[in-house]
Amino acid sequence: MTLSVSATNLLSHQQPPPASASLELSITGMTCAACVRRIEKAVRAVPGVNEASVNLVTQRASVKLDPSATKRELLVAAIENAGYGVVDAPARATTTSSSSESRADALASAEALEQRSIRRDFAIAAILTLPLLVIGMSHGAIPGTAGPSGHWTQFALATPIVFGPGIRFLRLAWAALRHRSADMNTLITIGVLAAWGYSTVTLFSSAFSSHAGHGSLPHLYFEAAAAIISFVLLGKLLETRARKRLSDAVRGLVALVPKTARRVNADGTTTDVEVSALSVGECVLVRPGERVATDGKVVNGASAVDESMLTGESLPVDKASGSLVFGGTLNQSGAITLEITRTGSDTALARIVEAVEQAQGSRAPIARLADVISSYFVPIVIGLATVALIAWFAIDPTSGGFAVAIERFVAVLVIACPCALGLATPAAVAVGTGRGAELGILVKGGAVLEAASRIDTVLLDKTGTVTEGKPALTDVVDVSGRGERELLALVAAVERQSEHPVAQAIVAGAEARGASRLDASTFAMQPGAGVHGTVGGLDVRIGTTAWMSAAAISTFALDGSARELAMRGRTPSFVAIAGRLAGIIAIADRPTVEAKRVIAELKAMGIDVAMVTGDRAETARAVANELGIERVFAEVRPEEKAKVVADERARGRTVAMVGDGINDAPALAGAHVGIAIGTGTDIAVAAADIALLRGGIASLPQALRLARSTLRTIRQNLFWAFIYNVIGIPIAAGALYPATGWLFSPILASAAMSMSSVSVLANSLRLRRFARTMGRSDV
């Protein structure tokens, strides 16, 4: 994995040029895993392409290429030559600043066009198929449907369906044949043409033979050919609707960005302009109730901004001069003027959208079995269908027997469903990563989800991960008789003169506890020892026991209390007033409010939790005891944390390392899953395997639960896809006939095939209900 970069680097405008460009193309016409393989093969054959990955669910190809050797037009030509289409939209590349919104609009238009086309074809097919089914399955019971007139009526109704709405399958099957491959369209085409062709040949042979009009024809299968196309189109229509819901998370993020912004001119006036026209360094005015157009820094005004859409944090964040504000967030209370720091694909929101799109387009290792099976699936099915045809004709080598054999041949072809296998993994990954983005959990992709689902050991950095990352006043011991508030007022008066973080924590703690404000008339500091000053004529000294002893002040009376505080992870400092010991104040980096609950939840999930920190053993142990962590690795340098991870892996554990993504670099890189604690400001998004955008570990259990739920859904999808084909194909071949006398008609087979793909998508969409409430899953 790559590692998190600092907030400074992420907010920098200077980025090194990429060694190779990443290009994404939206593709139309894909139906199954065989389509994916064919497109990948075609794209990889283009000179200059280093890597190509195609996703069936998101209908997108991700290509890594040498921009100096390969142009987009060559890739488009290769894909179109393979029999597929490419959406005419701005392609995203790391070397450009293309708009996420324009890509989303283009994709939405392409999907809407495809859906309208399928809806139209289905309507035509259904209108013609319904009377055809009535005629074909009445077996002459309806007056006027028996004899040549009924047969020719069936031919007249079926033929426009096969070569009208059904032409899409014939074209794709021909494209596959030209590339010496086979896919779902091949099965449908062979099945439809076999049923229609057999019926047509039989009908015309009967009409022009010398025995025309004598005897009855074998059963014709015009209604089967028409019904197959109708049911497959119905399945595709439902599938396109379900697929649209898979990308709702990305659409929702893109929709947050307003189309226009109010640019501030040099003379102070404002002008409404397109967001795409904004440049870095310009200023924009954002009024209450408006969404921020792009990333920027507040230069005038103050407000509270709702950043929940980026970070999941429900409370508005106060913004004043110098604060960073991000595109897509909602300004709530006051008007603010921003100086633009980032535009287009460089903004925080665009990076999140990119991370989610890449994750949705990735593959999980668990999909490898399905990929291998899919590559042999169609030839095997054609072989089984041929075996069924020969076997049934061998049993009854008459014209009627041949008709039954044709029926079994068609039923086997159309019941087989490589689509369900191809959709099983990418559909669940797309929904899982999209749902994670909605919850402020950004996952790098399918492989990360699978690894995260198996995590059994979590190693937590201490500072800034389970603790606040800054000192805070925790304890006050007063032996002067003045009381806690007066003692703190005197101490804070001296510490206020210092800029040390500990001094600032003492002042903040004193003010929070209601201490009055006093001023020191003198101040002096001894580095590593303490500070002292004069407050209201009293000499106030705060520091170590050695420094007190040097001033002839004994700390013996409070040494026991100081040791007890140190054992609890506090850093004690003695206080002396007017040359006499007055008390102790203690500072500590306090655990976050959610840390104890998170660790308890992880343990309830069966996950072993340990702390890895460079802090002193006493402090680390004290924090661990407070949080319920049994195993502690303390006084570990950053480069040594990787060895701790390696040792855990050597024990056979699946390890997640959770840290800030900067100081914990070696450990994050060595873990199975590196999890970065980030916020919408530092977007550890593009770097860590998983980024928790809420800015703390509160959502860590939920992230791991989401991974487990996603993998469980993938397994369910694969199980039912395999079982469906393992059971359905023998039944379609007639395996139940000897025992029950029952044969599965091609019409029912086509309906079952269509519904199998839809059921996989529907099961994956259940992940959208994964609970927002921490610690729950409705899946």
Catalytic positions are 461
The amino acid that residue 498 corresponds to is: S
Q: Contact, 657 vs 674, CB < 8 A?
A: yes
Q: What backbone torsions phi and psi does residue 343 show, to the nearest 5 degrees? A: -135, 165
Q: Rounded to whole angstroms, what are the CA distances from 617 to 471, 620, 621?
A: 17, 5, 6
- Is beta strand 608-612 parallel, antiparallel or unpaired with respect to 472-478? unpaired
Q: Provide the Cα torsion 144, 148, 153, 154; round to 10°.
A: 110
Tell me the C-alpha distance between 222 and 198, whole Å: 9
Q: Contact, 249 vs 238, CB < 8 A?
A: no
Q: Rounded to whole angstroms, what are the CA distances from 348 to 317, 355, 660?
A: 16, 11, 18
For the record, the structure tokens of 429 come out as: 């990954």
Tell me the C-alpha distance between 214 and 328, whole Å: 77
Give alpha helix (H) positions in 12-71: 33-44
The DSSP 8-state label assigned to residue 652 in this structure reads T
Residues in CB range of 686: below 8 A, 6 or more apart: 2, 351, 354, 355
The DSSP 8-state label assigned to residue 691 in this structure reads E
Tell me the C-alpha distance between 422 and 54, whole Å: 12
Q: What is the DSSP string of 65-82?
A: E-TTT--HHHHHHHHHHT
The rounded Cα 6 to chain-centroid distance in angstroms is: 23
440: left (phi over 0), alpha (psi -120 to 50) or beta: left
SS3 of residue 478 by DSSP = strand
* HSE-CB for 39 with a 13 A CA cutoff: 31
Kindly tell me the sign of the dihedral angle through the C-alpha atoms of 362, 368, 372, 378: negative
Tell me the C-alpha distance between 355 and 67, whole Å: 22
Residues in CB range of 362: below 8 A, 6 or more apart: 53, 55, 429, 444, 445, 446, 447
Tell me the C-alpha distance between 730 and 727, whole Å: 6
Q: Contact, 316 vs 306, CB < 8 A?
A: yes
Pick the closest to residue 592 from 620, 623, 565 (CA basis): 623
Tell me the C-alpha distance between 86 and 59, whole Å: 10
Tell me the C-alpha distance between 710 and 425, whole Å: 9
Q: Rounded to whole angstroms, what are the CA distances from 524 to 129, 231, 519, 546, 585?
A: 95, 86, 14, 17, 19
Q: Contact, 314 vs 330, CB < 8 A?
A: no
Tell me the C-alpha distance between 330 and 770, whole Å: 25
Tell me the C-alpha distance between 622 and 620, whole Å: 5
Residues in CB range of 28: below 8 A, 6 or more apart: 59, 84, 85, 86, 87, 110, 114
